[in-house]
Amino acid sequence: MKKLLIALVTLLPSLAMAAGGHEVDLESANVDLHDKASLERGLDLFQHYCSGCHSTQYQRYDRVATDLGISTDDMRNKYMFTDAKMGELMENAIPTVDAAKWFGAAPPDLTLVARVRGADWVYTYLKGFYADESRPFGVNNTVFPLVGMPHVLQDLQGLSVKDEHGNLVTTGGSMSAEEYDQAVRDLTGFLVYSGDPVKLEREALGWWVLGFLFIFFIIAYLLKKEYWKDVH
Ligand code: HEC
């Protein structure tokens, strides 16, 4: 009986998901946090196309510069559009109340979005805008129905239209489909990094810890042998 209960409780969340119905298949973001050039391109896109509305306010400019190997000059000249200082948080200038009025919802802070939603969700979301005349900005989104955000990357991607099978057909746009995928992967990578900036450090630290444990094990073993050698 107890076992059955436990099995039921473990199953419940997946049952609830299944009952949710219109779950959309997410595409795999495949981000590579070790590819700093990709993360820097992501930062570039974010600052140009997103930071007007969204903040990453748990991140500081100088921290991002250090982590991604960007010089102070480059950070200031290429990626900072306000008179913020290097040590300041990456906030934006849109007042939340106005933004909520303009878009029906305030643009949320995106520092943690890749952790909350998952990288694949963010990736699919950025590819998922399609034309829908009934919406205020003329677009809807496959993973975020009735989204309040305009398709800010339309110049790059072009505009998608749903065909009779519900597939997206995209035309226009300055980038090829592959280039756009890469751009969105870079952007998603930057957001994954933002949500967990110490991840790379932690991985490196992990190897030191394992190394220490290994050496310590040898010492402990030799010590044990020494202590027990006269005991019979
Ligand atoms: C013109 C303002 C504006 C710009 C520019 C903008 N967004 Fe948004 N974004 C919004 C608004 C408003 C919402 C909230 C939508 C809603 O709740 O309906 C949103 C929501 C989101 C969400 C969903 C967050 C969540 O978990 O609910 C993500 C992810 C996102 N934006 C990413 C981006 C990225 C990446 C860019 C740059 C390529 C960008 N946005 C540019 C206004 C904007």
Residues 152 and 170 occupy one common structural domain: yes
Kind and range of the H or E run holding 58: strand 56-60
Within a domain: 3: no
Residues 146 and 219 occupy one common structural domain: no
Residues 95 and 150 occupy one common structural domain: yes
Residues 211 and 187 occupy one common structural domain: no
Could you tell me which of 63, 67, 61 has the C-alpha nearest to residue 36? 67
* pLDDT recorded at residue 18: 46
CA of 39 to the centre of ligand 1 (A): 19
Residue whose token pair is 């932690």:
202
191 contact partners, CB below 8 Å, separation of at least 6? 42, 46, 56, 110, 113, 114, 119, 122
Q: Within 13 A of 191's CA, how many CA atoms are on the CB side?
A: 31
Measured from the CA of 106, which atom of ligand 1 is nearest? 12
Q: Who lines ligand 1 at CB under 6 A?
A: 49-50, 52-54, 103, 105, 107-108, 110, 113, 117, 122, 125-126, 147-150, 152-153, 187
Q: Within 13 A of 181's CA, how many CA atoms are on the CB side?
A: 8
Residues 110 and 222 occupy one common structural domain: no
Residue whose token pair is 């991607």:
157
Q: Please tell me the pTM assigned to this model.
A: 0.83
CA of 20 to the centre of ligand 1 (A): 23
d(CA 191, CA 144): 18
Residues 216 and 134 occupy one common structural domain: no
Within a domain: 100: yes
Within a domain: 8: no
pLDDT < 70 stretches in the chain: 1-23, 93, 232
* pLDDT recorded at residue 114: 94
Residues 28 and 136 occupy one common structural domain: yes
Amino acid at position 219, single letter:
I
Measured from the CA of 187, which atom of ligand 1 is nearest? 35
Number of structural domains found in the chain: 2
The residue range of the domain holding 182 is: 22-196
* pLDDT recorded at residue 20: 44
Write out the E strands in the chain: 56-60, 89-90, 129-131, 139-141, 159-162, 168-171
Q: Whose CA is nearest to atom 34 of ligand 1?
A: 50
* pLDDT recorded at residue 10: 57
Pocket probe mutation, ligand 1, options 26, 43, 53, max atoms within 8 Å of Cβ: 53
Residue whose token pair is 């600052």:
47
